[in-house]
Structure 1
Amino acid sequence: MVVEDEVIIALDLSETVRDMGFRVEGPYANNGHAFIAIDQEMPDFAILDVRTADGEVFPLADALTEAGVPIIFHSGHITDHEIAERYPNAQTAAKPCPPSKLMQMIAEANKRAH
């Protein structure tokens, strides 16, 4: 699952996930649409921007965490320390993140999902 409200970044993240052989849910620009999607099917892992078109992503991240879904926060608006306090098992990638680092994080999240 990709939740990102900046179109170019959302498309780039989605393409990276597809290039690694995964099916992409989204990208979703807001929490509302992402919540509808997880009501239908939980993703194996999620890449989430902290600020979305309809507010902060934390309610969605809480729901995904409760369901055991590995999360990668991809944002320029929050520090690794702030994420680690609230989501100790999540990974963080500051924007802009080199594709090679993001691919390593996706591979790690996929391992945790299985």
Structure 2
Amino acid sequence: MPYPGCTNSPSSLRGRRVLVVEDEALVAMLVEDALIDAGAEVIGPVRSVNEALASLVRDRPDAAVLDLNLDGVSSSPVADALAAAGVPFVVATGYGVDGMPPGHAGVPVLAKPYDPSALTAALMGLWPKG
């Protein structure tokens, strides 16, 4: 059953593997549900910078959803690693655009709380239309 409020088609992210980096359990579950409903395969969720970096080495995603603050620790190293690996990502944060890590100003930002359909739309926007 689709996540309430999700207006994207069930297959909008079909075949895409998305890493979820989020330390808040409830938010992580909601993100995971929305991505699954949109057809994505979810990697994670992972709750720390170290877990995220290890996951990138072990299981390269097609994209990622990245919280900027993981239990009081900046996830900038994860943003840097994603960019270096050529993995597009969306930042989900309560800090807004002002909290973006240096060098990642062009990354799409979703201000918490956000609608699941905004998340899937932002992820779909990471790839060229074809």
TM range, smaller chain? 0.7 to 0.9
**Percent identical residues:** 30
> CA 1:39–1:54 in structure 2 vs 1: closer, same or farther (change >3 Å)?
farther
SS in 1 for 2:90: strand
Q: Which has the larger radius of gyration?
A: 2
What RMSD in Å do the two structures reach over aligned CA positions?
Answer: 2.0
Aligned residues between the structures: 111
Matched, 1:83 2:112: no
Partner in structure 2 of residue 63 of structure 1: 81
Matched, 1:101 2:118: yes
Find runs of 4+ consecutive structure 1 residues off by over 6 angstroms: none
Higher helix share: 1
Q: Is the 8 A contact 2:21 2:67 kept in 1?
A: yes
Unaligned runs of 5+ in 2: 1-18
C-alpha distance in 2, partners of 1:40/1:54?
25
SS in 1 for 2:39: coil
Q: TM-score, normalised by structure 1?
A: 0.87
Unaligned runs of 5+ in 1: none
C-alpha distance in 2, partners of 1:22/1:102?
12
Partner in structure 1 of residue 9 of structure 2: none
Q: TM-score, normalised by structure 2?
A: 0.77
